[in-house]
A and B are shown apart, each in its own frame.
Chain A
């Protein structure tokens, strides 16, 4: 089955700096790659996703890139703000298969 590896597990950045989280997946059949943000005491919430026919997608300060050949995808957050502090999960899914999540990255933005 699919295996998603995510790193780093923790990340501290100064407010205003950029943050990058990287993931790799194993199943070449995976074609959908969402990113979720989980704030304390809440369930994860989708922040951005990308499909395998697209190499990059951007939404304001958040961008995701996908390299299908290398089976890598990354989340980029620019101009970080304290409210970006949360746990971020990458995930992968192929067709009607289950969504497989990475282990999560705890991002701390220091004011």
Chain B
């Protein structure tokens, strides 16, 4: 069974640009969450989608947005990039939202560098 796939794995952008990251969850998983990982800040929750609906949202500015498609694939977008947006963006899928199935399956991440 294929794991969580994130693309692209690495990208470099300049301030002011926008970026779109993609995540394909494990087949059959309907929940997708996004996290930002930076040194010293751990894993910061961005948002969670379940059946194409955003169910939870973290404390990030409106420049960060996401969506989920009917096949459970998800994208996140960051507009007007700032230097502080440089981070590893991790996507995680799970079988269902919360409830009894808690395990998150993470992809290897998309490393974004903003110059």
By a beta-carbon cutoff of 8 Å, the part of chain A in contact with chain B is 6, 32, 34, 36, 41-46, 49, 89, 93, 95-104
Contact = CB atoms under 8 A, between A and B. Distances in A.
Given A89-B43, A98-B45, A100-B45, A43 B108 contact: yes
Given A96-B97, A101-B43, A103-B42, A49 B103 contact: yes
A-B pairs, 5 with minimum CB distance: A43-B106, A96-B98, A103-B42, A101-B43, A98-B56
Interface of B: 4, 33, 35, 40-43, 45, 48, 55-56, 58, 90, 92, 97-99, 102-109
A99 B58 contact: no
B42 A89 contact: yes
A103 B106 contact: no
27 contacts: A32-B102, A34-B104, A36-B106, A43-B4, A43-B92, A43-B107, A43-B108, A43-B109, A44-B43, A44-B90, A44-B104, A45-B106, A93-B98, A93-B102, A95-B98, A96-B55, A96-B97, A97-B98, A98-B48, A99-B45, A100-B45, A101-B35, A101-B42, A101-B45, A102-B42, A103-B41, A104-B42
B98 A34 contact: no
B110 to A, nearest CB: 11
Given A36-B106, A46-B104, A99-B102, 5 more contacts: A6-B42, A43-B4, A45-B106, A95-B98, A101-B42
